[in-house]
């Protein structure tokens, strides 16, 4: 089983760094068969991260209305992101990247998105208290997700 964990975001925009923070924590766990990548949103880089992957888990920050900073949303991409519209100036966003991958026949076999509601997206490093509190939960959930998926798929790989 090849699993890929992609932390998406900019660590210098406060809570936008939650994806990279999860990625670094997962990297420290040295889970077998798992690649870890940090992407700031570049669509071509995103597509390359899940090349040949059985499972890709994407962690990103989101802004919701009404807001509840620190709330964690998990779902099958891209439905998790619902009607999200990217407002980034030059990144196309995860929804578009996954849709693009599907159109090109390069979608991951299975994708799961963890979206963490951000509180502070201002300039600077460090997560807000609400997102910091959510961080261990996201890390544990993502690690469990990858482990369960590895066990489920193991018989196929023999």
Which residues here bind another protein, judged by CB under 8 A? 9-10, 12-13, 15-16, 40-45, 47-48, 60-65, 73-76, 80-96, 99-100, 103-105, 110, 112, 115, 118, 121, 123
Long-range contacts of 78-82 (CB under 8 A, 24+ apart): 78/113, 80/113, 80/115, 81/113, 81/115
Cα dihedral 65→71→73→79 (10° resolution) = 10
**35, β-bridge pairs:** 4
- Shortest gap between Cβ of 12 and another protein (angstroms)? 5
Give 31 or 71: the residue with its C-beta nearer to another protein: 71
Give 124 or 136: the residue with its C-beta nearer to another protein: 124
- Shortest gap between Cβ of 20 and another protein (angstroms)? 12
Instruction: Classify burial at 43, counting beta carbons within 10 Å of its beta carbon; exposed 0-12, middle 13-18, buried 19 or more.
Output: middle
- Shortest gap between Cβ of 153 and another protein (angstroms)? 14
Give 29 or 121: the residue with its C-beta nearer to another protein: 121
């Amino acid at each position: 089983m090849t699993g890929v964990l992609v932390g998406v975001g900019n660590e210098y925009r406060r809570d936008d760094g939650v994806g990279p923070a999860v990625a670094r924590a997962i990297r420290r766990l040295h889970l077998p068969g798992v690649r870890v990548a940090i992407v700031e949103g570049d669509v071509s880089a995103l597509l390359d991260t899940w090349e040949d992957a059985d499972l890709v888990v994407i962690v990103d920050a989101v802004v919701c209305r009404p807001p509840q900073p620190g709330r964690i949303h998990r779902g099958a991409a891209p439905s998790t992101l619902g009607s999200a519209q990217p407002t980034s100036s030059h990144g196309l966003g995860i929804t578009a990247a996954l849709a693009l991958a599907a159109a090109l026949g390069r979608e991951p076999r299975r994708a799961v998105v963890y979206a963490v509601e951000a509180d502070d997206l201002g300039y600077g490093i460090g997560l807000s208290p609400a997102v910091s509190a959510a961080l261990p939960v996201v890390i544990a959930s993502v690690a469990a997700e990858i482990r369960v998926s590895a066990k489920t798929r193991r018989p196929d790989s023999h």
